[in-house]
Amino acid sequence: MSFQLHMQCHKQPDVVERILRVIRHRGFTLNSMSMAPSNCGEKIELSMSVSSLRPAHLLTTQVEKLHDVVALRCLDTASNHAAISY
């Protein structure tokens, strides 16, 4: 299964590293990623495509716990419907 993750994060130097670590450790593969500043440079918007045999919520609940992740939305790539959203 492939999922699209859209996140808003505090602009901290380590936030992307933390998210990527969780994706790897929880058994998901990163396929693509893009990043852009938002909120006058105080936040960043991250979009990622990830895939795994595991259900999306096993990743999203872990990513959501990261201190600098403000909001997360998860879409099923095939249907473009919300798989998990917060």
Residues forming contacts to another protein in the complex (CB under 8 A) are 14, 17-18, 21, 25, 57-58, 61-62, 64-67
59: phi then psi, degrees, rounded to nearest 5: -95, -45
Task: Kindly tell me which of 24 and 51 has the beta carbon lying closer to another protein.
Answer: 24
Least Cβ distance, residue 22 to another protein (angstroms): 9
* Rounded Cα gap, residues 4 and 6, in angstroms: 7
Tokens of 85: 């959203």
Nearer to another protein, 64 or 76 (CB): 64
Is the CB of 64 or the CB of 80 nearer to another protein? 64
The CB-of-23 to another protein minimum distance in angstroms stands at 13
CB of 77 to another protein, least distance (A): 21
Those residues whose C-beta lies under 8 Å from the C-beta of residue 5, and which sit 6 or more positions away, are 46, 47, 48, 49, 50, 59, 60, 63, 72, 73, 74
